[in-house]
């Protein structure tokens, strides 16, 4: 499984690179704080796989990196995706590195 650090993600955002960001946390978690990605909770990721791009890099994130890793593995196994990246450390790593005022839970 390919992974990306929060520093690499910030670089992509700052450089306005074309990628898709998917947050697989539950909607109530997403509403607490998010990185402006699309919210597709892990439980529905396979059902909504048609929303996941195959044409550009897709970075999948959650709170700490565990659920997003599960989503990457499921999508790769079920649908053959090869353009997925797990965000190491999830939104907690982002908050620690770049936004100490971001609400976390």
For 38-84, write each residue's pLDDT tens digit. 999 999 999 999 999 999 999 999 999 999 999 999 999 999 999 99
Domain residues for the domain of 83 are 3-98
Residue whose entry in the numeric block shows the structure tokens 């907690």: 92
In a domain, 84, yes or no: yes
In a domain, 104, yes or no: no
Residue 18's Cβ-count burial label (10 Å; 0-12, 13-18, 19+) is: exposed
Contacts of 20 (CB under 8 A, 6+ apart): 37, 38, 52, 53, 56, 57, 58, 59
Number of domains in the chain: 1
The yes-or-no verdict on residue 104 having pLDDT over 90 is: no
The pTM (predicted TM-score) of the whole model is: 0.96
In a domain, 90, yes or no: yes
In a domain, 103, yes or no: no
The yes-or-no verdict on residue 8 having pLDDT over 90 is: yes
In a domain, 105, yes or no: no
In a domain, 36, yes or no: yes
Annotation marks residue 95 as catalytic: no
The CATH number assigned to the domain holding 49 equals 3.40.250.10
- From 6, 40, 62, 75, active-site residue: 62
- Average pLDDT (28-39) is 97
Q: What is the mean pLDDT of the chain?
A: 98
86 secondary structure, DSSP code = E
Confidence of residue 105 (pLDDT cuts 50, 70, 90): confident
In a domain, 29, yes or no: yes
Looking at residue 44, its pLDDT comes to 98
Here the tokens at position 46 are 């396979």
Region of residue 16 (phi > 0: left; psi between -120 and 50: alpha; otherwise: beta): left
Phi–psi pair at 81, nearest 5 degrees: -60, 140
């Amino acid at each position: 499984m390919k992974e990306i650090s929060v520093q690499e993600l910030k670089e992509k955002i700052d450089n306005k690179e074309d990628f898709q960001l998917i947050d697989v946390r539950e909607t109530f978690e997403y509403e607490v704080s998010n990185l402006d990605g699309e919210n597709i909770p892990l439980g529905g990721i396979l059902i909504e796989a048609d929303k996941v791009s195959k044409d550009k890099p897709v970075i999948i994130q959650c709170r700490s990196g565990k659920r997003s890793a599960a989503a990457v593995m499921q999508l790769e196994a079920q649908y053959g995706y090869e353009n997925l990246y797990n965000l190491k450390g999830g939104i907690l790593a982002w908050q620690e590195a770049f936004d100490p005022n971001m609400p976390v839970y």
